[in-house]
Amino acid sequence: MTMAHSEYDYDLFVIGAGSGGVRASRIAAGHGARVAVAEEFRIGGTCVIRGCVPKKLLVYASQFADDLAHASDYGWTIEGARFDWPALRDAVARDVDRLNAAYTRTLDSNKVDHFLERAEITGPNSVRLKQSGRTITAGTILVATGAWPVMPEFPGAEHCITSNEVFHLETLPSRVVVAGAGYIAMEFAGIFNALGCDVTIVNRSAKILRGYDTDLSDRLLAITRARGIAYRFDASFEGVEKQEDGSLLVHLGDGGEPVPADVVLVATGRRPNTAGLGLETAGITLGAHGEIPVDSDGRTACPTIFAVGDVTDRVQLTPVAIREGHAFADARFGGKATSVSYDAIPSAVFSQPPLAAVGLTEAEARDRYENVRVFTSDFRPMKNVFSERIERGYYKLVVDGATDRILGIHMIGPDAPEILQAAAIAVKAGLTKADFDATVALHPSMAEELVLMR
């Protein structure tokens, strides 16, 4: 066990009280370490305060629009249905407040001190709190400051918002332009589209959801176009002009007409939140995108400073940050050598319809293996039987032909993320296509398609 010396104010000082920082703090304190955390905004971090949790609540709300539209097909008569954006916005804000309080109680119950102000590193074992000016020393410093939305430079960028501000819109916009086509862009485009807004996605390339299997992204593109989302591909922002009536006009570099909008949401990526942290005072050089290089234990170039989560050069996912924080605390303060495995990490896009994946895409598998077998199921989900929109689900198994081991699972359709979580266990465990074939189907369900592909 590597405990710090008593001459320091704390054994561990954590900068950032998000998912990774809170987990590391709680576990380290449980091992007997004296721990403090500094957080300049709200305890809970991006995921809880302005990311995946409130966004998922918006997704649920927007899906009611589709369910209500088809309710009559199932015998329901619903009169006077209307949507109230302020009611939803405020309900989501109240839940964020609840979670912020819950995370704060977690720190308190584990006797972790917390400072609601920005902290900057002033050396290998010291930080300075910006508002109070107080200097605090610690045997170990953990940086868990996460990432921040990127706002590119173009004329009129000040009129645009990012995913940080989207949860606080005063009114529901009639016209939304979304810059980018990654998972954040596609999720918010789906939300606004379902709530009745006119949505245009602008992207520099002609591909959405880079990194996901092409069969899934191509299908999502076709479905969202059929649902009314417009796309301007191979287009860059030339500028955003504010009109006399307060609306916006988006000028693009593709030679086409400008796009009118009430809200322009820029979702072109996230950058590690390292600006002004003072890492250079401890001899730490950042990567090209502002990320902190770390070794397999989360250690930086300075032996007393560690980093976990989105601020590092690893995987930007909340569950990964939690595991890294836990492993760090166990190894540093609990005497437990723990490593984090980065293979077979499941991920999902809560688009409409959602998609989910784990393991290698077909293209990745063919690059690494000589004999790759692919099994697919293209089906109409029972949930969509009465719908006028012909939206089909699609599942794909990518298999190593030499060993029969499943290398990847890729799914698009209703409830795909919920199904994928269980299926990811099979990929992580190294199960084979024969194992899937030997499993009896659960009928009628969409998930049964996973064991019926031949």
Report the C-alpha gap between 312 and 292 in whole angstroms.
Answer: 5
Residue 443 designated active-site: yes
Residue list for the binding site for FAD: 56, 310
Residue list for the binding site: 56, 180-187, 269, 310
SS3 44: coil
DSSP state of 423: H
CA angle 242–202–64, rounded 5-degree value: 95
Nearest to 201 by CA among 266, 122, 105: 266
Rounded to an integer, what is the distance from CA 101 to the centroid of its chain?
A: 22
Q: Which distant-in-sequence residues (6+ apart) come within 8 Å of 436 by Cβ?
A: 397, 406, 426, 450, 451, 453
Residue list for the binding site for NAD(+): 180-187, 269
In the sheet that 175-179 helps form, which strands lie side by side, from edge to edge? 230-232, 198-202, 175-179, 263-266
Q: Are 350 and 399 in contact (CB under 8 A)?
A: no
Exactly one of 31, 168, 251, 443 is catalytic; name it: 443
Residues in the chain: 454
Q: Are 355 and 373 in contact (CB under 8 A)?
A: no
Q: Are 415 and 377 in contact (CB under 8 A)?
A: no
Q: What are phi and psi of 200, to 5 degrees?
A: -125, 125
SS3 150: coil
Tokens of 112: 């972790």
Q: Are 12 and 37 in contact (CB under 8 A)?
A: no
Q: Which residues are catalytic?
A: 443
